[in-house]
Structure 1
């Protein structure tokens, strides 16, 4: 901690030195990009692009390929207005122009339905609405600038989403997100139309989060987040969706990025594959900061030093009637938390336990977009995914050598082909359809040692990807606009799992009605379902006679019905009020065959393999609530975002008793605010702050006597019949961030200083039984925590 304080002082002195040493110089940059039709993705020639507030007025028009270029654009925050005959105007606000980096935009325009009379439509970029026009409710577009701006987000899109209504975090150490009381295992991550299992370091089997995200914010472009009643194209999901897109690299100029901060040391590069070819590449590599410090002999006093590295890349090659894209994501991580080395108890292991854990992920995909004509395009996607997670857990008596207790080493692979067809039949009617074929491979191994010498195998199954089970899905969805004020979006999806021939047919419906100049009512319904994890399907049951049976292989999908009703109001051009109320009924939830409190709906609330054997689809759950958002869009150099979520989340296990889910905090309130102060023409100070107040984490009380008598395994024993009946005190956390942005002639720099949990509020996350102290101890989350970040463009 002392080292961080010293570095913080040096950071502030360094920033002040630059602010006074640099002359107040006038630098300019290029803003360029392409303008396309939202539905067909075809370029729009002749569209007008205007840089507002410029003197003299800077404006241009797109060429036959829909491309535009504005030169001599001043640095700092700028605003563009794009217009085209027959289309709604599009405003691009708060573009941050760097001196050492061109700004390259991809702008989608929505066609008007009514052309015979003037229709006043708010053309501002609406973050409350998804970029995907098939969405109707519970959807929000977000910018990469928001992920970098929000205090406490650590430039992580998952942590950024925790600020949205209906979303809460599981704990400070991981970015698992809880949507409307659902398990984080119900979330779908999608990157460039490819479903990815868990794009985070230190990923555990069946989870969707981790301490550090692999997706690098420097490689992403504006994307969508959904919290319920999703469009038909999103299948095998019942909780929420991240639909992420990677930006194209600069196809005219080579640019470099360097960054050093708590998340890691990074180096990025982009540019044309060949000058004049319009093709491009984009690549970013990161290595963990704390591991570098350990190699340099600097000790931060943590119970384990996290090691991780990751790589994001994208290659883009345009053709006359299409575009070929090759993209990928890879990373690996590991950490050791050894109680045998006299480290303090951490939140993942009990006293007398040594933990070694890690994970790796490889995703690679080829995507070809083929433009049939001005109304229709297709996308073909072929991808391969491989993910591994391992956990080694040893136990020991004081003064004794650690002995094996638990081993988990699971590898899952997937080969996927996806086809998408999008057609705009008229100004009023458009459709999107597609299908996906997934083939799974796996190598699943779990071993336990009981009483040190009695070995028991619980899971040992493997198949190559060419022989594993298949999951087929398909969908079709229409958008019919009766006018610019009223539209409906019916759709239908299906899932078929080849392992046991389970089928799910899922109707979807969305309705949007602009009731006034600045108000709208929105409704959404969807039936959604999700297959279980491979580890669940192939969990072995070992009987007393030594026989083995896969008792979970016939499990069906976990199903959910979503109903959502929302109201939106633009109180002014830059102030929005949004509220939604929802009800979600979950059915066919896997629970244990024998009466117990276990349910898959609580998966992700604790560390380890979140599955059991002898499961049946007889559990239920329900989530309902109301959400409020009041947001001031970034204007006049400041913004704010406030959200309030009130909800209730219940489930029923095989014992027939209704309980709170592990994620039923009942309420979450967020308040964020930010201000930018320009100190010179080429420099600015940035201030951001965040406060979150939420209901405490649910937990199961410890059975003290049983824990004392558990001599063999040293496990804390919980009272199963009282599962999640207790709740910790309310969660409270305040974060701040101070940044300094400086533009030189050929170099742009950014210094940032963070403090998370500035009040040092103690937020409990777990309770464990301490055998040496013979008492129950509470484990707390992150305390006062300063961080630094430095970024340079050149």
Structure 2
């Protein structure tokens, strides 16, 4: 019996051990050089608060096994590089948590005793001025954002949002349409649903992000003075990185409720061993919700978002990722909705159908031990068909008894599309730890197709004092189809190239100098944008920043829509001057102060809304100071306090003087705390 007893005991011990192992999870990741993207073999990776750790292999990959389900912080150390702490690494039992490419920054070998080494903040001396980074966990935890990166950005200094209704953001007095937005290195600014409405609402941007929660892996934001790598807009830039799929294990989840449905897949592709895939699909229909709360008068808004990203590691030197975004939306407001409104307060009719599409391919090649090339190929499209009109609920003084009694008249239809094919090539070479050279070329072919049709005569009761009226004493304008109907169909090429040299001649100081060239075939003009930035280390925890440069902004489809003569307009121009100070109070606590001045000229302004003619006569300025104190999630809590004072004015130079810009917001204060 004894052998049987020992066998049973051994089996029980084995089963308990397997059970305990199944209750634990693993961490896998890769460590690379931030500038050259080369893997860093031999990097030491430790899980803070445990005795667990690992070293990276020849491809920079590390694997840490058997961790209890929890949220961890891992510390990464490599000789000659700044130490870095990756916070909020979530381990789930029976799963392998994959950390995408932890990028380390080289330390400057110091002979003067000045070297910035801060754990939870990476100090990139090649970054022009203050920049902010949000991780996926930080976006998820941001109070009130509900996982929406654009609402989360509203807590940053210099950034103002329009409250809970809108998902867009404005920066330092600029319009939301003046921000550069990149999705995996591809320009794409159609990132929200239901843009527009009234004239004022159109300026605010969209209401719902096209990105479901937990889809953005990282967001990098800079409010001004940015590098020559970025152009086409003159306010700020936001670089969003869609998360890569976990090639170790699969996660599938979904949701079904009164609002709609959602389905997410994250895991191996099943068709290629070295390919991972992320699929995010959702549909939201607010019609039923509005009915339940008695607000059906607002109409029927609904949208769908389908986002797919695949990542393939062909070999250690070649990495390819594919990105597809399809985001249609539909909104209609009919006579049924007008009938439900209180006292027929709103009589607007709308039938909107819009689709946003992005298809992109990124190919990164490690061309040498200290260089890499990134090629991006993309197609992006935006198709929009909207018909607007008005209902007349009162006929001969009689109120309608049902929606069938309401007379309706559709007045204007707008049908337009914007299609662009583009190629981007970026090359980075770091001959030594003191120098970096980057250069790039961008080519895009854009087609604008627009048609505006008015059905019969229309009477307008909203106009500016300078709008043309045959009889100035009239308090209305009669609009004729002959005056409104318009077609525009043009295809042109836009070119851009840039070069930048980053140099650290001494341990305390570093410079970035570069120039960007842009050609706009629509107006057939060439533009050169020189830019300069510098950093000076006062001591091991204090840095002074400076940046200046010229930034040009390409006008968009709405300028063409107003009138074909507007095609000759020049690009708008901005001069940036930025001064800042960064103080690392602790490894997890950073204080930033930044002052700025922006001079704007060649601004496009409307001469007469009835004719649609525009000109480059406008100018303006913006100035202010941004303060922020950021506490990273080390210990029991994280938080942020920020304050911005700003003033922004414009002048159309029509003799009426200057006025505050539409997004002038003198005081912005935010406080955030989480556990």
Return the TM-score normalized by structure 2: 0.85
Matched ranges for 1:621-660 at <5 A: 621-656=620-655, 657-660=657-660
The one of 417, 422, 435 aligned to 2:428: 422
For residue 750 of structure 1, what is the aligned residue in structure 2? none
For residue 512 of structure 2, what is the aligned residue in structure 1? 489
Secondary structure at 1:527's aligned position in 2? strand
Matched ranges for 1:415-494 at <5 A: 415-449=421-455, 450-451=457-458, 454-456=480-482, 458=484, 460-463=486-489, 468-494=491-517
Task: Give distance in 2, aligned partners of 1:230 and 1:429.
Answer: 19
Alpha-carbon distance change, 484 to 73 in structure 1, aligned in 2, over 3 angstroms: farther
For residue 665 of structure 2, what is the aligned residue in structure 1? 665
Task: Give distance in 2, aligned partners of 1:345 and 1:525.
Answer: 54
Distance apart, 1:117 and its partner CA: 8.8
Quick check: which has more Rg, 1 or 2?
A: 2
Distance apart, 1:260 and its partner CA: 6.1
Alpha-carbon distance change, 325 to 208 in structure 1, aligned in 2, over 3 angstroms: farther
Alpha-carbon distance change, 107 to 306 in structure 1, aligned in 2, over 3 angstroms: same
Secondary structure at 1:154's aligned position in 2? coil
Matched ranges for 1:559-638 at <5 A: 559-593=573-607, 613-638=612-637
For residue 372 of structure 2, what is the aligned residue in structure 1? 377
Task: Give distance in 1, aligned partners of 2:673 and 2:611.
Answer: 44
Contact 1:187 1:208 in 2 (8 A): no
1:103-122 per-position Cα deviation (integer Å, ceiling 9, x unaligned): 21120111122077986533
Alpha-carbon distance change, 384 to 27 in structure 1, aligned in 2, over 3 angstroms: same
For residue 321 of structure 2, what is the aligned residue in structure 1? 325
Task: Give distance in 2, aligned partners of 1:263 and 1:584.
Answer: 43
Contact 1:202 1:357 in 2 (8 A): no
Is 1:58 the counterpart of 2:57 in the alignment? no
For residue 746 of structure 1, what is the aligned residue in structure 2? none
Matched ranges for 1:306-345 at <5 A: 306-320=301-315, 321-338=317-334, 341-344=338-341
Alpha-carbon distance change, 555 to 183 in structure 1, aligned in 2, over 3 angstroms: same
Deviates more, 1:203-212 or 1:241-250: 203-212
The one of 508, 512, 533 aligned to 1:510: 533
Distance apart, 1:149 and its partner CA: 1.0
Alpha-carbon distance change, 355 to 275 in structure 1, aligned in 2, over 3 angstroms: closer
Contact 1:203 1:358 in 2 (8 A): no
Is 1:236 the counterpart of 2:232 in the alignment? yes
Task: Give distance in 2, aligned partners of 1:345 and 1:455.
Answer: 33
Cα root mean square deviation, aligned? 2.8
Contact 1:422 1:433 in 2 (8 A): yes
Kindly tell me the number of residue pairs found equivalent between the two proteins: 616
Query: Which consecutive residues of structure 1, in runs of 5 or more, have no partner in the other structure?
Result: 1-23, 541-549, 599-610, 676-794
State the structure with bigger RCO (CA 8 A, min sep 6), 1 or 2: 1
Secondary structure at 1:520's aligned position in 2? strand
For residue 16 of structure 1, what is the aligned residue in structure 2? none
Contact 1:86 1:115 in 2 (8 A): no
Contact 2:599 2:622 in 1 (8 A): yes
Distance apart, 1:218 and its partner CA: 2.3
Return the TM-score normalized by structure 1: 0.73
Distance apart, 1:537 and its partner CA: 2.9
Distance apart, 1:407 and its partner CA: 2.0
Secondary structure at 1:402's aligned position in 2? strand
Alpha-carbon distance change, 269 to 445 in structure 1, aligned in 2, over 3 angstroms: same
Distance apart, 1:512 and its partner CA: 1.3
